Amino acid sequence: MALDLFLENGYEQTTIDDICAVAGISRSTFFRSFPSKEDVFASTTSAAPEELLDALRQRPDDETPWTALRHALDPLIAHYAAQSERARQLAEIARTAPALATYHQHKLKSWQQLLAPEVARRLGADPDDATDPRPHALIASAYACLEAAVEAWIAGHGTHQLTPLLHRAMAAVG
């Protein structure tokens, strides 16, 4: 419901009161479920970090960390593809609303914290060594490639498939 409001009215123009009215709930009920409007927006992909970690752990150990990260992104790409036009429109909102840009930075940080031990293991590094920048650099680079692919997907109005765009972005780096 809230996502429909964001699509119809715009993210910034949609208020928590609007969301509560459509959902038939009070503000206090809203805030028991969601700390912020940004959390409502992100609720459809809230399981993505854990799914990404599971997908990364399931990749063959003989793959390079970069290749494993690329293939671990497949479930997230499948989520976008399953909702094609709606997902593209929501992705566009996520890139234009300043509050969501800040939220994206927090998301990247949480992805790095969650994935770093597995990436470090794949590098043959100590997962507890906070002075080794390689795991975080790889994760941030993969995330940047994902963001670049999504930007290109948005710019092309969904006429290009997201998977080849991601492959192309990641091939340019790795």
Instruction: Read off the CATH number of the domain in which 148 is found.
Output: 1.10.357.10
Convert the pLDDT of each residue in 68-124 to its tens digit: 999 999 888 887 777 778 888 888 888 888 888 888 788 778 888 999 999 999 999
Do 5 and 25 lie in one domain? The reply is yes
Q: What is the structure's pLDDT at 63? A: 96
Residues 16-19: contacts with CB under 8 Å, at least 24 apart: none
Do 102 and 25 lie in one domain? The reply is no
Q: What is the structure's pLDDT at 103? A: 80
Would residue 41 count as lying in a domain?
Answer: no
Convert the pLDDT of each residue in 57-71 to its tens digit: 999 999 999 999 999
Residue percentage of the chain with pLDDT more than 90 = 52
Q: What is the structure's pLDDT at 46? A: 63
Task: Provide the number of structural domains found in the chain.
Answer: 2
Which residues span the domain enclosing 30?
1-36
Do 81 and 14 lie in one domain? The reply is no
